[in-house]
Amino acid sequence: MVEAVAPAVEMVGMSLRFPGVHALDHVDFTLRSGEVHALMGENGAGKSTLIKVLTGAYPADDGELRVQGARRDFSSIAEAQAAGISAVYQDVDLCGNLSIAENVMLGNEVRSWRGIDWRRTRERAHATLSELGLSSLDLRTRLSDLSPAVQQLVAIGRATVVHPRVLVLDEPTSSLDDREVAMLFAVIRRLRDSGVAILFVSHFLEQVFAISDRMTILRNGRNVGVHPTHALDRAEVISIMMGKDLSTLRRLGSERVVHRREPAGLPVLRAEDLGRRGVFEPTKLELHRGEVVGFAGLRGSGRTELARLLTGVDRADSGETWIRDEPVVISTPRTALRHRIAFTAENRREEGVIGELSVRKNITLSLQALRGWTRPLSRRERDDIVERFIEELGIVPADPSVLVKNLSGGNQQKVLLARWLAVRPRVLVLDEPTRGMDISAKVDIQAHVAQLAAEGVSIVFISSEFEEVLRLSDRIVVVKDRRKIGEISNGPGLSVDSIVELIAADAGED
Amino acid sequence: MNESKSNLERVRAIIRSQYFWGIVAIFLLLLINLIKDPSYLNLSYNPTTGAFVGNIIDILRAAAPILMIAVGVCLVIATGGIDLSVGSVMVVSGAVTMEFLSAANQPDSIGAAALAILLALLLSTVLGLVNGVLVAFVGLQPFITTLVMMLAGRGIAKVITEGQNTSATNEPVRWIANGYAFGLPVVFLIAVAVIVVVSIVVRKSALGLMIEAIGIDPKASRLAGLNRRGLLLTVYAISGLLAGIAGIFATASVMTVDVSRTGYQLELDAILAVVIGGTSLAGGKFSIGGAVIGALLIATLDKTVLFLGVPSSATPAFKAIVIIALCLLSSERVRSLFRQRRLTTPLTPKETVPS
């Protein structure tokens, strides 16, 4: 009977181009009523784009969208909602200063000739939440007084008020702890059993395996596989997501570097129980002089978060840190800078270089911050430093007065690297320093990293490309679902495969 | 076609330079005055006072307070903030000066003058610091913070003078506003000196770079290790100090503080001067030179309005028209509108083929 009915959503040959990117490339996709369907893929694989096309936020360039068998062309979110498609996004888009009832019913208030009929509006809110098993909530509570998990549930309540046939959940669990996730899953199952088609997007592999019935895997805007969840194991999913056949991954690993050494003596930086609730589980971490420590994990696994906690970009709420044997508090990038701990962010345009400033000013910014405004670099010192790094790192164009926004991504990254090298860092944390670069620029950056380690800098290297992490690192910290699941010494026996298997084998704590 | 286009580009590049239209406007206003009275620009030398006399000198003298607050506000705007309180800080500073001098009652004492000025500048700087603390540490919006200070400042001034317009006599203070040195008004010379000092401090230290960086991209600057809070505090304090100087200038010329009129709405003049000077209200790159041009333009405009005998009730409207015209001319969007029209006009006849 299920097969006879048209699927809740069907996409055929869906395509969408952004300048320079094929965000969706002829994607076929089917979502059935009464299933939880996981949409998998690394960041940038096209998951968000697919959701936005489905919910009417983006118009597709090409392709066909059918909802319950009827062809649709949504030109707005409202149209998609009218057709029974509701979405709940990662960042709860509710109003913190309104009550639960108001939030649930916003835009769907029951009206009478006098305006909004609050009594009946509240009744309907109550009815909706009861269907989700949330009848215990006090409807008059202000949303901001609730925990993130309950807010997330209210957001789902809001999405189900209109009795959608399709519910999209985009990273609904990213700010929840295990117990709260269980609560959410109960609600999701209840909705599924009532016949709603649920599209579930999450970075947390274990949750996907726990809740979903089928999955569609995207890579570079293409659909690279539709599978029943129970038919795949975790390693297979990862290898499909990353686009590497397991045997190829196995082979790639054996090119192991020789410069590895056993960490000895006092670590340069040591952190115990470093963590932040909902961001990263408390973790121990040691960085030694002249050592490259790789953070490996899928995008969204928490490796960036760990780096940001370590360098004071985001404030940790637990843990202690030592530099050699001296306890330190690293609560801001500024205090990190004072201890010569540098961090280059993943999104270098937003959190790295300042595009409207020249190469010269960008390179000297942190050194200047370290010296304070009253002790400006003399023109001579400044030009020496800038010229030296432009030459050493091979920044093109070699013109210090050019605005950084006009440089290529690789050269922007080098400017950022130069900024931190200018302060002679003890610890250098590089988050995706080679992302979006062509192969020669990548190799260039990798060579500089190896060189720096040889000079005694302690380096944290984060990359989505496990090969790269393997090639450079002495030690690899494996991260999954916002916690450290293991630490491996690099060596000839280690391959990309071992990391993938480690990630896959870890079945979480639940 | 190509040649004319490249010429056009060249002209456009000149026109686009930040305060080009400000300078043009100053000359235009002077020209209008010159047409009305051919002797408008005449300067005469008065050998007994050792001073030049003329309309230009009057403009320079009137420009001094606006120059001060324009430079201060320019720095604040560069950090991505705004300072609406400068007019009110002016009246506080003026009130402190006049109240102190009238209480001291030493008409010729340089000491009393120095003490009065020191006190006034100290309080002005403190008010600026309060703005800075609220913006940098409490995290309030600069607009709201300085709006509150704008209202509070006038209140503080009224408390200091007990609601009266206080007058005082003190020759040294009077000399600051009305005296001459090297044939030029002292007040203008002081203003120039202050601007030179501020420019040197900002451009020769790393302050300018840091202000620009936090104004362009607060997030990236934080990650680069800049001390955003300290910088904001410094900048608002400087703005307060400069407004204090402006307040002394404004009250010393008549040796009276008028608690409801001294510095009234001058914050708007300061902001206009900054914008005319090509500093974006969005923060980032700033031009002290531009703010100076802007301030001179506003002073010229004020004097022109008086000179032309525009009825006082129509003065704000006249001023508004000139400034709007200037902003439109320097607006990228309006310019591109003109450009587009030039491009599309010849096409329109073809497009409107009757169907």
Question: Which residues of chain B does A352 touch, with a Cβ-Cβ cutoff of 8 Å?
Answer: 220, 223
The count of structural domains within chain A is 3
- Contacts (Cβ under 8 Å, ≥6 apart) of A374: B205, B206
Chain B CA closest to residue A375: B205
Interval A310-340: pLDDT, tens = 999 988 888 889 988 889 988 899 999 999 9
Task: Give the residue carrying structure tokens 């009532």.
Answer: A194
Structure tokens at A128: 């909706």
A409 and A316 in a common domain: no
Prior bond to B65 cis, omega within 30? no
Instruction: Report the pLDDT value the prediction gives residue B351, as an integer from 0 to 100.
Output: 38
Mutation site, B79, B223, B235, B238, interface A, largest A CB count within 10 A: B223
> Whole-number mean pLDDT of chain A?
84
Contact B219 A350 (CB under 8 A): yes
CB contact burial B36-50 (16+ within 10 A = b; e otherwise): eeeebeeeeeeeeee
Q: Is residue A1 part of a domain?
A: no
Does any CB of chain A come closer than 8 Å to the CB of residue B231? Answer: yes
Please report which confidence band the pLDDT of residue A355 belongs to, taking 50, 70 and 90 as the band edges: confident
Q: How far is A147 from chain B (nearest CA, A)?
A: 25
CA triple A333-A337-A343, angle to 5 deg: 60
Does any CB of chain A come closer than 8 Å to the CB of residue B79? Answer: no
Chain A CA closest to residue B225: A334
A269 and A171 in a common domain: no
Residue ending a domain, choose from A198, A232, A266: A232
Q: Is residue A185 part of a domain?
A: yes
Helix (H) or strand (E) holding A315: none
Q: What is the dihedral of CA A122, A127, A132, A136, to 10 degrees?
A: 60
Q: Is residue A137 part of a domain?
A: yes
Secondary structure of chain B in HEC code, one letter for each residue: CHHHHHHHHHHHHHHHCCCHHHHHHHHHHHHHHHHHCCCCCCCEEECCCCEEECHHHHHHHHHHHHHHHHHHHHHHHHCCCCCCCHHHHHHHHHHHHHHHHHHHCCCCCHHHHHHHHHHHHHHHHHHHHHHHHHHHHHCCCHHHHHHHHHHHHHHHHHHHHCCCCCECCCHHHHHHHHCEECCEEHHHHHHHHHHHHHHHHHHHCCHHHHHHHHHHCHHHHHHCCCCHHHHHHHHHHHHHHHHHHHHHHHHHCCCECCCCCCCCCHHHHHHHHHHHCCCCCCCCCCCHHHHHHHHHHHHHHHHHHHHHCCCHHHHHHHHHHHHHHHHHHHCHHHHHHHHHHHHHHHHHHHHCCCC
Q: What is the CA radius of gyration of chain B?
A: 23
Q: Is residue A189 part of a domain?
A: yes
CB atoms within 10 A of CB A451: 11
Contact B209 A365 (CB under 8 A): yes
Q: Is residue A139 part of a domain?
A: yes
A256 and A143 in a common domain: no
Q: Please, are residues A489 and A495 in contact by the beta-carbon 8 Å criterion? A: no
Structure tokens at B14: 């000149």
Contact B205 A374 (CB under 8 A): yes
A223 and A190 in a common domain: yes
Chain A CA closest to residue B226: A369
Chain B CA closest to residue A335: B225
Interval A442-500: pLDDT, tens = 777 888 888 888 888 999 999 877 878 888 888 899 998 888 888 888 877 777 788 88
Considering only CB atoms, B219 lies closest to which of A337, A351, A373, namely A351
Instruction: Report the pLDDT value the prediction gives residue A255, as an integer from 0 to 100.
Output: 37
Contact A369 B285 (CB under 8 A): no
Contact B212 A357 (CB under 8 A): yes
Q: Is residue A346 part of a domain?
A: no
HSE, CB side, 13 Å, CA atoms: give it for residue A427: 28
Contact B217 A371 (CB under 8 A): no
Residues in chain B: 355
Instruction: Report the pLDDT value the prediction gives residue B121, as an integer from 0 to 100.
Output: 96
Q: How far is B300 from chain A (nearest CA, A)?
A: 34
Does any CB of chain A come closer than 8 Å to the CB of residue B285? Answer: yes
Question: Which residues of chain B does A336 touch, with a Cβ-Cβ cutoff of 8 Å?
Answer: 225
Contact B206 A368 (CB under 8 A): yes
Question: Which residues of chain A does B231 touch, with a Cβ-Cβ cutoff of 8 Å?
Answer: 373
Question: Which residues of chain A does B213 touch, with a Cβ-Cβ cutoff of 8 Å?
Answer: 354, 357, 361, 365
Mutation site, A310, A331, A334, interface B, largest B CB count within 10 A: A334
Report how far residue B172's alpha carbon sits from residue B175's, in angstroms, rounded to the nearest whole number.
5
Residues in chain A: 510
Contact A352 B220 (CB under 8 A): yes
Helix (H) or strand (E) holding A181: helix A178-193
Report how far residue B69's alpha carbon sits from residue B94's, in angstroms, rounded to the nearest whole number.
14
Q: How far is B42 from chain A (nearest CA, A)?
A: 45
Question: Which residues of chain B does A345 touch, with a Cβ-Cβ cutoff of 8 Å?
Answer: 223
Instruction: Report the pLDDT value the prediction gives residue A509, as an integer from 0 to 100.
Output: 46
Residue A19 predicted with pLDDT over 60: yes
- What order do you get walking across the sheet with A341-344 strand by strand? A341-344, A427-431, A458-462, A292-296, A475-480, A483-489
A255 and A221 in a common domain: no
Q: How far is B19 from chain A (nearest CA, A)?
A: 20
Interval A75-92: pLDDT, tens = 888 888 888 998 887 666
Residue ending a domain, choose from A199, A232, A265: A232
Structure tokens at B291: 């703010």
A465 and A375 in a common domain: no
Q: Please, are residues B70 and B292 in contact by the beta-carbon 8 Å criterion? A: yes
Q: Helix, strand or coil for residue A425?
A: coil
Q: Helix, strand or coil for residue A431?
A: strand
Contact A352 B284 (CB under 8 A): no
Question: Which residues of chain B does A339 touch, with a Cβ-Cβ cutoff of 8 Å?
Answer: none
A42 and A157 in a common domain: yes
Does any CB of chain A come closer than 8 Å to the CB of residue B207? Answer: yes
Interval A36-65: pLDDT, tens = 999 988 766 788 889 989 988 888 888 899
Question: Which residues of chain B does A365 touch, with a Cβ-Cβ cutoff of 8 Å?
Answer: 209, 213, 221, 224, 226
Q: How far is A430 from chain B (nearest CA, A)?
A: 13
The rounded percent of chain A whose pLDDT value lies above 90 is 23
Q: What residues make up the domain containing A156?
A: 9-232
Chain A CA closest to residue B219: A351
Higher pLDDT, A132 or A221: A221
State the count of interchain CB pairs (< 8 A) between A and B: 76
Question: Which residues of chain A does B217 touch, with a Cβ-Cβ cutoff of 8 Å?
Answer: 350, 354-356
Residue A250 predicted with pLDDT over 60: no
A380 and A280 in a common domain: no
If chain B, 355 residues long, is cut into consecutive pieces of 10 residues, what is the mean pLDDT of each piece?
60 67 87 87 78 86 94 94 94 93 84 92 96 93 93 92 86 87 90 95 90 91 90 95 95 89 88 86 87 92 86 80 75 68 45 37
Contact A356 B217 (CB under 8 A): yes
Interval A151-207: pLDDT, tens = 888 888 888 888 889 999 988 876 677 777 888 898 899 889 999 999 998 877 788
Contact A354 B206 (CB under 8 A): no
Q: Pick from B317, B241, B307, B226: which is nearest to B29 by CA?
A: B307
Q: How far is B16 from chain A (nearest CA, A)?
A: 18
Report how far residue B72's alpha carbon sits from residue B243's, in angstroms, rounded to the nearest whole number.
7
Domains and CATH numbers, chain B: 65-330 (1.10.3470)
Instruction: Report the pLDDT value the prediction gives residue A257, as an integer from 0 to 100.
Output: 44
| Identity of residue A507 | A
Question: Which residues of chain B does A357 touch, with a Cβ-Cβ cutoff of 8 Å?
Answer: 209, 212-213, 216
Question: Which residues of chain A does B207 touch, with a Cβ-Cβ cutoff of 8 Å?
Answer: 373
- Contacts (Cβ under 8 Å, ≥6 apart) of B207: A373, B201, B231, B234
Secondary structure of A109-172 in HEC code, one letter for each residue: CCEECCEECHHHHHHHHHHHHHHCCCCCCCCCCEHHHCCHHHHHHHHHHHHHCCCCCEEEEECC
Mutation site, A373, A416, A427, interface B, largest B CB count within 10 A: A373
Report how far residue A338's alpha carbon sits from residue B352's, in angstroms, rounded to the nearest whole number.
67
The DSSP bridge pattern shows strands A36-40 and A214-219 to be: parallel
HSE, CB side, 13 Å, CA atoms: give it for residue A429: 26
Residue ending a domain, choose from A396, A424, A452: A424
Alpha helices in A311-401 (DSSP H): 333-338, 348-351, 359-371, 379-393
A221 and A191 in a common domain: yes
Considering only CB atoms, B213 lies closest to which of A336, A357, A370, namely A357
Report how far residue A510's alpha carbon sits from residue A204's, in angstroms, rounded to the nearest whole number.
13
Going by the DSSP 8-state scheme, the letter that residue A391 receives in this structure is: H
A356 and A499 in a common domain: no
CB atoms within 10 A of CB A99: 18
Q: How far is B194 from chain A (nearest CA, A)?
A: 19
What are the beta bridge partners of residue B45? B52
Task: Give the residue carrying structure tokens 């790393």.
Answer: B206
Contact B210 A361 (CB under 8 A): no
Report how far residue A216's alpha carbon sits from residue A102's, in angstroms, rounded to the nearest whole number.
35
Contact A373 B225 (CB under 8 A): no
Report how far residue A344's alpha carbon sits from residue A415's, in angstroms, rounded to the nearest whole number.
11
A469 and A360 in a common domain: no
Cα torsion angle, A104, A109, A115, A119, sign: negative
Contact A334 B206 (CB under 8 A): no
B135, B141, B230, B235, B241 from B138: Cα distances, Å = 6, 9, 13, 16, 21
Q: Please, are residues B25 and B322 in contact by the beta-carbon 8 Å criterion? A: yes
Interval A219-237: pLDDT, tens = 888 899 899 998 888 778 8
Does any CB of chain A come closer than 8 Å to the CB of residue B224? Answer: yes
CATH number at residue A90: 3.40.50.300
Does any CB of chain A come closer than 8 Å to the CB of residue B280? Answer: no
Chain B CA closest to residue A348: B220
A178 and A310 in a common domain: no
Chain A CA closest to residue B209: A361
Does any CB of chain A come closer than 8 Å to the CB of residue B46? Answer: no
